[in-house]
Amino acid sequence: MRSLPRGKAPMLGRFMSRRQFAQSTAALSLSALLPRALFSAPASNAQEIVIHTDNEIGTVRPELHGQFAEHVGSCIYGGLWVGKNSPIPNINGYRKAAVEYLRELGIPVLRWPGGCFADDYHWRDGIGPVEKRPKRVNMHWGGYVEDNSFGTDEFIGFCREIGAEPYICGNVGSGTPAELRDWMEYCNFPSGSSLSDARAANGSPEPFKVRYWGVGNENWGCGGAMTGREYGDLYRRFAVFAPSFGGIKPFLIACGPNRNDAVWSRDFMSGLSPRLLPDGFAMHYYAEGGMPSDAYSNEGMTAQLATFPLLEQAVIQQRALLDGYDSGRNIALIVDEWGVHDRLASAEEKEYGRLWQSCTMRSALAVALGLNLFNRQADKLLMCNLAQMVNVRAPLLQTDGPKGQQCLRTTVYHVFALFKPHRAKKALRVETQNPSSAEFSVSASRAGSDLILTFINARDGADVQVECSLRGERAGAASAQILHSDDSNAGNSFDHPDQISPQTHPVNLDGETVLIDLPRLSVVTASAQLA
Ligand code: AHR
């Protein structure tokens, strides 16, 4: 059985011949002493995979790596927004460290202001001189007083700082079609109307050109507790009053189901008129856990990760359901909120804000399983937004409280970084024993001669040796990066902010085969150049 040393190997991450590969492990592995025939016999944890390098599924749209930021806890206030007069280093009020980390990762699209908050938000509260903005109670997230200092102009400014496309979620539950229509005019009409002139007076003569508009959020729950039919009736009214402004045709995103709720989707779709089909249909799907983030049992982790095959099934089934009403596939399927729900700790929530959760190696594996399945279902998805970007649930970044100076990249940030090379490439079909497994997962993508492979070994008890056949193609060079910890409950902390971060990892090439060892609890992305 071949096995590679954990951590820093002698020839890290660059191309090694099969001989060098075997030699590098010789000191640690008996397998190097075994005869060749035995050496290559499939080990008990061997995985044989076929990558169909010429069989494309669809484009891995960068938007599959989208993010979500809501007015909850310290996601906005104290997270990405600290205010212009803050002692915390900032760029026009945006936390500098957050801006820099997010810019480096690249955020394709950012959804705001909610979440549940969206259906209680009135956008006019958040424009104009800050001292004149009304103070309102945030009824969903703890009844704190929201001073509205982060509003539409600040949101667009933030998107511009980090290079993200803005996605605004409108208020259907307690708002009106006129209110949403006016918000669109404020954002997108070039000049000459009272609303566009107000935008110019607020510092932005240039239109914001916001294309993505959500028509409510979770209207089956916190957004109004409606049935699919009731929401469909409202959706039609909102859609009629959502014209193009400044040549920007709004891309209207309707509220989709909770998880794989087919009743909601059918009720909604069957009441629509063909003239008013939404552009997008947004489902929400979280991996519930129920244990404290840093104290999961093995069984608890297995149960939580088992959500991801269900999410994959939901994507396939909801896509098929939509196709039944819209054979031309004009309605895009979106996973608008997804991520990891652990048991919240009230002491941490008190100190750091509502929905605060720690990120661990387990969270990283969970998010990687999600991103791998989005690659595999790339032909069915337009956009997927992680909940949430800063300080809430399993975020990319965490700060040491709303007033804290520190900002760290979580294990989840590093998973997104490992998936970044897939963006805009064509997802490829991969043959494995169980393509949708929550224990061992693979995805692949390609652009020209660049081949990207991501492997996840989510098992806590077994290393895996992967033999990946490229069927008729050869890779001339390869390198790999690994995110790994022996402890699924370990994460990055303010004392050890980089404890779990990507490291180079050995990869071996042998003709048409890529060989790679995955320690237990690891995510590995390999990049190969096809010869
Ligand atoms: O992400 C937190 C909340 O989860 C959102 O506000 C809501 O849409 C979902 O239920």
Neighbour-count burial for 12-50, b at 16+ CB within 10 Å, e otherwise: bbebbeeeebbebbeeebebbeeeeeeebeebebebebe
Helix (H) or strand (E) holding 434: none
CA distance 67 to 159: 11
User: The tokens 């994959």 sit on which residue?
Assistant: 312
pLDDT confidence of residue 491: 98
Let me know the angle formed at the C-alpha of 351 by 345 and 353, rounded to the nearest 5 degrees.
80
pLDDT tens track for 355-369: 999 999 999 999 999
Q: Can 337 be counted among the known catalytic residues? A: yes
Q: Is the CB of 115 under 6 A from ligand 1?
A: yes
pTM of the model as a whole: 0.92
- Residue 320 in contact with residue 265, Cβ under 8 Å? no
Q: How far is the CA of 76 from the centre of ligand 1 (A)?
A: 14
Locate the ligand 1 atom nearest the alpha carbon of residue 118 and give its number: 6
Indicate which residue of 146, 312, 337, 467 is catalytic: 337
Strands 280-292 and 251-258, by their bridges, are parallel
Q: Is the CB of 506 under 6 A from ligand 1?
A: no
Strands (E), 485-530: 503-505, 507-510, 513-518, 522-530
Q: Is the CB of 113 under 6 A from ligand 1?
A: no
pLDDT confidence of residue 19: 35
Section 57-76 average pLDDT: 98
Q: What is the rounded (10 degree) CA torsion for 407, 420, 359, 161?
A: 30
Q: How far is the CA of 93 from the centre of ligand 1 (A)?
A: 25
Is 70 exceeded by the pLDDT of residue 193?
Answer: yes
pLDDT confidence of residue 225: 98
Q: How far is the CA of 166 from the centre of ligand 1 (A)?
A: 18
Higher pLDDT, 5 or 331: 331
Is 60 exceeded by the pLDDT of residue 34?
Answer: no
Section 515-521 average pLDDT: 97
Shortest CA distance to 57 belongs to which of 330, 334, 374, 322?
A: 374
> CB-based contacts of 522: which residues, under 8 Å, 6+ apart?
455, 456, 457, 482, 483, 484
- Residue 40 in contact with residue 21, Cβ under 8 Å? no
Mutation test residue for ligand 1: of 111, 139, 284, the one with most atoms within 8 Å of CB: 284
How many Cβ atoms from other residues are within 10 Å of residue 272's Cβ? Answer: 19
Q: How far is the CA of 449 from the centre of ligand 1 (A)?
A: 41
Q: Is the CB of 67 under 6 A from ligand 1?
A: no
- The protein residue with its alpha carbon nearest to ligand 1, atom 2, reads 115
pLDDT confidence of residue 44: 52
Q: How far is CA 341 from CA 245, 386, 467, in A?
A: 38, 12, 34
Section 169-181 average pLDDT: 98
Q: How confident is the model at residue 28 (pLDDT cuts 50, 70, 90)?
A: very low
pLDDT tens track for 138-160: 999 999 999 999 999 999 999 99
CA distance 439 to 76: 34
pLDDT tens track for 100-125: 999 999 999 999 999 999 999 999 99
Q: How far is the CA of 329 from the centre of ligand 1 (A)?
A: 28
pLDDT confidence of residue 23: 38
pLDDT confidence of residue 472: 85
Is 50 exceeded by the pLDDT of residue 37?
Answer: no
Residue 92 DSSP label: T
Please report how the helices 307-325 and 361-376 are oriented relative to each other, as an axis angle in degrees rounded to 10.
30
CA distance 213 to 136: 23
Is 50 exceeded by the pLDDT of residue 57?
Answer: yes
How many Cβ atoms from other residues are within 10 Å of residue 273's Cβ? Answer: 9
Q: Is the CB of 388 under 6 A from ligand 1?
A: yes
Section 475-496 average pLDDT: 97
Is 70 exceeded by the pLDDT of residue 27?
Answer: no
pLDDT confidence of residue 35: 31
| Identity at 170, one-letter amino acid code | G
Q: Is the CB of 116 under 6 A from ligand 1?
A: yes
Q: How confident is the model at residue 465 (pLDDT cuts 50, 70, 90)?
A: very high
Q: How far is CA 423 from CA 327, 374, 452, in A?
A: 27, 11, 10
Q: Can 161 be counted among the known catalytic residues? A: no
Q: Is the CB of 169 under 6 A from ligand 1?
A: no
Mutation test residue for ligand 1: of 112, 120, 218, 349, the one with most atoms within 8 Å of CB: 218
CA count, 13 A, side-chain hemisphere, 328: 4
pLDDT tens track for 245-289: 999 999 999 999 999 999 999 999 999 888 889 999 999 999 999
Locate the ligand 1 atom nearest the alpha carbon of residue 355 and give its number: 2
Rg over CA atoms, the chain: 24
- When the pLDDT of each residue in the chain is averaged and rounded to a whole number, the result is 91
Lowest mean pLDDT among 36-50, 76-90, 221-235, 274-288: 36-50
Indicate which residue of 70, 218, 312, 467 is catalytic: 218
Locate the ligand 1 atom nearest the alpha carbon of residue 70 and give its number: 6
pLDDT tens track for 397-456: 999 988 899 999 999 999 999 999 999 999 999 999 887 899 999 999 999 999 999 999
